[in-house]
A and B are shown apart, each in its own frame.
Chain A
Amino acid sequence: MFEGYTLAELGSIFAMQGFAGLILFSVFVLMALGLAIIFGQMGVINMAHGEFLILGAYITYFTSNFFLNYIPALFSAYFFVAMALAFVGAGALGMLVEWAMIRHLYRRPLDTLLATWGLSLILQQFYRSVFGAREVGVELPEWLIGSLPVTDIIEVPINGLFVMALTLMITTAVGVLMYRSRWGKQVRAVMQNRVMAGAVGIDTEKVDRYTFGIGCGIAGVAGSAFTMVGSTGPTSGQLYIVDTFLVVVFGGAQSLLGTIASAFVISQAQSTMEFFLSGSMAKVLTLLTVVGILMLRPQGLFVLKVRR
């Protein structure tokens, strides 16, 4: 498939596709981070994760409209407000869902899958009824439009750079929260041995609720970032859910580092192959490879060593 390209051209193609892959990587990481916390740490299969993402996207859309109509002077900064709102909104919904549904199902992980699938159907229809079936896109502030030329072939879109910077920030924040804070320590303790954690005085119910809430909140932020690179409709969330689960499982469910590494591998592979093959074949090959590797290494790339 490489015939007919010179080495220099190949280099630029790889660089360009690599960059496109980095944007995909950012979206994957943002989605997968929330999922890695919920699935990897709590063992809950949240099929409604995509819908939490869409909630964030809709919140961003409304915030941008609000700024555009009422305080246009501050429009260039709407995104930061939207992001905070998306986190709070999706997180609050997540905590509500945990209280009403998930906490009754901790012993039955496969049933959380069905129940959250039901939730995702309800949310989808809710979005469709309230916001309409049409896809919506946000208007970007001026400083996010345009692209930086690197060489005469390669151009780098600024919104892509911004999404990547955002991903880096959020990932760092999550890493610090999980591995450097007291709260993160509690989360990891509860997930490794719920009974023992309760015995040493950790309020496991509270930890569960906040963990789920934060996982969903991160999905909301991901949705917020998602509006910069694509448009949003009621069913957009479902397009990504399988990919995201594969990312989390491929990386090793309990390892955040693994999640990031696998998101990188999968997004780069897909984006590079997309240039040479059709998009659907690239996706098929990538997913097949991931499934194949998972069969060889069922626990994923990075395994956390825990005594069972």
Chain B
Amino acid sequence: MRSGNIFLRRNEVVFLVLLAALLLVVFPMALDSFRLNLVGKYLTYAFVALGLVLCWGNAGILSLGQGIFFGLGGYCMAMFLKLESSSPEATAIQSTPGIPDFMDWNQITELPFFWQPFHSLALTVVAILVVPAAFAWIIGVAMFKRRVGGVYFAIITQAIAAILTILIIGQQGYTGGINGITDLRTLKGWDIRTDFAKEVLYFVTVALLLGCLLAAQFVRRSKYGRILVAIRDKEDRVRFSGYDVSNFKIFIFCFASVLAAVGGAMFTLQVGFMSPSFVGIVPSIEMVIYCAVGGRLSLFGAVYGTLFVNYAKTIFSESFPELWLFAMGALFIGVVMAFPNGLAGLWQVHVQPLFDRWAASRAGARPIAPPAAAAAERRT
């Protein structure tokens, strides 16, 4: 086994290759383009789940407002696409050509100032990264410097998600209201609605996801990541050791928010619209359950958990719509009570030891670690 300063351990390289093979080879070959697009949509939630593993699993900060950042990223992208699809020629029938249709319906005659930067793709990309990070920074500074944590942080982020949803729905003229920003067509003249475009976007999503996974893994394995775990387990001791605990928390919260925003932007591109129903309390909590089902301590688990829950959701809501909420509720309760470390925890406790024993017997040595020790990172 390599030492800790290499940020991917040997078995994690194997996991990464397996995940990449599954997403890049198996799914595209096995699924038709509709299903593949669906998987691509699920994967955008996996970005949020990755952020939650860092934020919640590693640092012990449960944010119930990740939908905020998913939405901010998604809206930034949607605003750019909307402006492109509402060129003066395309909207000639409106009373004010050249502005998005919902503004026209709401008697707004001029593009609001905060829409102006979204004429440029470069600025949009910057906005997707900076706007959520800045927002998270403000929340983080206000909360963590005042040592608001745990339950209170969760409730306040939830309230902020509620505020943002109400605001988006209330300000129809500027945001498209409850319908959101719809009818998105092209990205720099490239039609995003064709099957081919959706396939390309799927691969872009997968590539970004794997990149984000590596980045998150790097953060976790660094000295910084170890301090985060220390903060989660005994915040006061870390503080007394001379660290400014709040800055560490603010950083990881911002990092998670950027991950969520990237997911949101890719979501908008693949699905073709963005609406407040992806911002509010319910989607935010669902995102937490993706992470919890996969395992709050495992980045790979988060991806698989997201895929699993969303797949189950699709299956259930297609065949037994009335059973879905029961199943989802049971999943929440089951995960929390029976296996708090999720799928990854089950893997580590039950499956991993078998592999280890097999590997050890091939190497001609006796098993070194008893099965229980494989469940190394138990939650305290």
Interface residues of A (CB under 8 A from B): 43, 45, 101, 104-105, 108-111, 113-115, 117-122, 124-126, 128-129, 238, 242, 245-246, 249, 278, 280-281, 283-284, 287-288, 290-291, 294-296, 298
Rounded to whole angstroms, the CA-CA distance of A125 and B160 in the bound complex is 26
Chain A CB within 10 Å — which of B142, B158, B288, B336 has the most? Answer: B336
| Residue of A125, A296, A298 touching B325 (CB-CB under 8 A) | A125
Known: A109-B151, A295-B146. A114 touches B289 (CB 8 A): yes
Contact B151 A125 (CB under 8 A): no
Q: Can you list 10 pairs linking A and B with CB atoms under 8 Å apart?
A: A101-B337, A113-B62, A113-B64, A121-B325, A121-B326, A122-B325, A246-B159, A280-B170, A283-B166, A284-B166
Q: In the complex, what residues of B have CB within 8 A of residue A111's CB?
A: 336, 340
For the A-B complex, the count of residue pairs with Cβ-Cβ distances under 8 Å equals: 116
Q: In the complex, what residues of A have CB within 8 A of residue B329's CB?
A: 118-122, 125
Known: A101-B337, A113-B154, A118-B328. A287 touches B146 (CB 8 A): no
| Interface presence of B204 (CB below 8 A) | no
Contact B337 A287 (CB under 8 A): no
Rounded to whole angstroms, the CA-CA distance of A288 and B167 in the bound complex is 11
Interface residues of B (CB under 8 A from A): 62, 64, 142-143, 146-148, 150-152, 154-156, 158-160, 162-163, 166-167, 169-170, 281-282, 285, 288-289, 292, 322, 324-326, 328-333, 335-337, 340
Q: In the complex, what residues of A have CB within 8 A of residue B330's CB?
A: 118, 122
Contact A298 B289 (CB under 8 A): no
Rounded to whole angstroms, the CA-CA distance of A284 and B162 in the bound complex is 9
Main secondary structure of the interface of A (DSSP, over half): helix
Contact A291 B146 (CB under 8 A): no
Chain B CB within 10 Å — which of A43, A129, A249, A298 has the most? Answer: A298
Contact B169 A280 (CB under 8 A): yes
Contact B155 A246 (CB under 8 A): yes
Rounded to whole angstroms, the CA-CA distance of A122 and B147 in the bound complex is 34
Contact A291 B159 (CB under 8 A): yes
Q: List the 5 closest pairs (A to B, CB-CB), nearest first.
A: A118-B332, A280-B170, A122-B329, A125-B325, A121-B329
In the complex, which residue of chain B has the Cβ closest to the Cβ of A118? B332
Q: Closest Cβ of chain B: how far from A287's Cβ, in Å?
A: 5
Known: A109-B151, A110-B62, A295-B148. A122 touches B326 (CB 8 A): yes
Contact A245 B155 (CB under 8 A): yes
Known: A45-B151, A122-B329, A287-B162. A295 touches B142 (CB 8 A): yes
In the complex, which residue of chain A has the Cβ closest to the Cβ of B332? A118
Rounded to whole angstroms, the CA-CA distance of A245 and B335 in the bound complex is 24
Rounded to whole angstroms, the CA-CA distance of A45 and B150 in the bound complex is 11
| Residue of A45, A101, A249, A294 touching B333 (CB-CB under 8 A) | A101
Q: Closest Cβ of chain B: how far from A152's Cβ, in Å?
A: 34
Contact A121 B332 (CB under 8 A): yes
Contact B332 A115 (CB under 8 A): yes
Contact B158 A242 (CB under 8 A): yes
Q: Closest Cβ of chain B: how far from A220's Cβ, in Å?
A: 20
| Residue of A115, A125, A249 touching B322 (CB-CB under 8 A) | A125
Q: In the complex, what residues of B have CB within 8 A of residue A109's CB?
A: 150-151
Contact B288 A114 (CB under 8 A): yes
Contact B337 A115 (CB under 8 A): yes
Contact B337 A249 (CB under 8 A): no
Contact B159 A287 (CB under 8 A): yes
Rounded to whole angstroms, the CA-CA distance of A45 and B153 in the bound complex is 13
Q: In the complex, what residues of A have CB within 8 A of residue B326's CB?
A: 121-122, 125-126
Contact A118 B331 (CB under 8 A): yes
Contact A114 B155 (CB under 8 A): no
| Residue of B155, B162, B166, B325 touching A249 (CB-CB under 8 A) | B155
Chain B CB within 10 Å — which of A108, A117, A287 has the most? Answer: A117
Rounded to whole angstroms, the CA-CA distance of A43 and B151 in the bound complex is 9
Rounded to whole angstroms, the CA-CA distance of A246 and B333 in the bound complex is 24
| Residue of A104, A242, A291 touching B337 (CB-CB under 8 A) | A104
Rounded to whole angstroms, the CA-CA distance of A290 and B156 in the bound complex is 10
Contact B163 A287 (CB under 8 A): yes
Known: A118-B329, A118-B332, A295-B143. A129 touches B322 (CB 8 A): yes
In the complex, which residue of chain B has the Cβ closest to the Cβ of A43? B151
Q: Closest Cβ of chain A: how far from B323's Cβ, in Å?
A: 8
Q: In the complex, what residues of B have CB within 8 A of residue A113's CB?
A: 62, 64, 151, 154
| 5 additional contacts (CB under 8 A) given A126-B326, A287-B163, A295-B142 | A114-B336, A118-B331, A121-B328, A121-B332, A125-B326
Q: Closest Cβ of chain B: how far from A250's Cβ, in Å?
A: 10
Rounded to whole angstroms, the CA-CA distance of A30 and B152 in the bound complex is 21
Contact B337 A296 (CB under 8 A): no
Q: In the complex, what residues of B have CB within 8 A of residue A105's CB?
A: 336-337
Rounded to whole angstroms, the CA-CA distance of A181 and B89 in the bound complex is 76
Chain A CB within 10 Å — which of B150, B159, B330 has the most? Answer: B159
Rounded to whole angstroms, the CA-CA distance of A283 and B158 in the bound complex is 15
Q: In the complex, what residues of B have CB within 8 A of residue A126's CB?
A: 326
Q: Closest Cβ of chain A: how far from B292's Cβ, in Å?
A: 6
In the complex, which residue of chain A has the Cβ closest to the Cβ of B147? A298
Contact A278 B170 (CB under 8 A): yes
Q: In the complex, what residues of B have CB within 8 A of residue A110's CB?
A: 62, 150-151, 154
| Residue of B163, B322, B325, B333 touching A291 (CB-CB under 8 A) | B163
Contact A284 B146 (CB under 8 A): no
Q: In the complex, what residues of A have CB within 8 A of residue B340's CB?
A: 108, 111
Contact A128 B322 (CB under 8 A): yes
Rounded to whole angstroms, the CA-CA distance of A10 and B203 in the bound complex is 61
Contact A117 B332 (CB under 8 A): yes
Q: Closest Cβ of chain B: how far from A139's Cβ, in Å?
A: 29
Q: In the complex, what residues of A have CB within 8 A of residue B332's CB?
A: 114-115, 117-119, 121
| Residue of A249, A281, A283, A288 touching B152 (CB-CB under 8 A) | A249
